[in-house]
């Protein structure tokens, strides 16, 4: 799932947000978040929100894990401009026709 997310978002981010190799760690973590949410949701679908444990019926821990990953995912979505509102907030750099060296 993480590799699928990588293949889905990296081409878009390279064009839309200008990400480069330096950003790959952040994008990789975003992809892991998506995969972990998917994994937690599968567990919730299979075992349910409430599970039987030593002390009786308790909340499935996958629900807490999914919520924590969603919180982190929301940060990455804002940071990388992956939602319509986040994209609207990204300022596209103006084209610099001046060929002068920045060190001049």
Predicted confidence at residue 32, as pLDDT, reads 96
- The answer to whether position 8 is within a domain reads yes
- The answer to whether position 57 is within a domain reads yes
Give the total number of structural domains in the chain: 1
- The answer to whether position 98 is within a domain reads no
Percentage of residues in the chain with pLDDT exceeding 70? 86
Q: Give the domain range for residue 27.
A: 2-83
Average pLDDT over residues 25-47: 97
- Asked if the model's pLDDT at residue 63 lies above 80, the reply is yes
The pTM of the full predicted model, rounded to 2 decimals, is 0.77
- Which residue from 34, 22, 41, 37 is spatially nearest to 82, judged by alpha carbons? 34
Give per-residue pLDDT as tens, 73-88.
999 999 888 888 887 7
Residue 34's alpha-carbon distances to 51, 55, 93, 95, in angstroms, are 24, 31, 29, 34
- The answer to whether position 42 is within a domain reads yes
- The answer to whether position 99 is within a domain reads no
């Amino acid at each position: 799932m993480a590799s699928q997310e990588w293949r889905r978002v990296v081409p878009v981010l390279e064009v839309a947000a200008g990400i480069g190799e330096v950003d790959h760690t952040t994008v990789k973590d975003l992809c892991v978040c998506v995969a972990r949410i998917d994994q937690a949701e599968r567990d919730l679908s299979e075992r349910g929100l409430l599970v039987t444990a030593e002390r009786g019926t308790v909340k499935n821990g996958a629900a807490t894990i999914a919520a924590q990953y969603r919180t982190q995912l929301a940060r990455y979505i804002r940071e990388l401009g992956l939602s319509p509102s986040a994209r609207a907030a990204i300022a596209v750099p103006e084209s610099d026709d001046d060929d002068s060296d920045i060190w001049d």
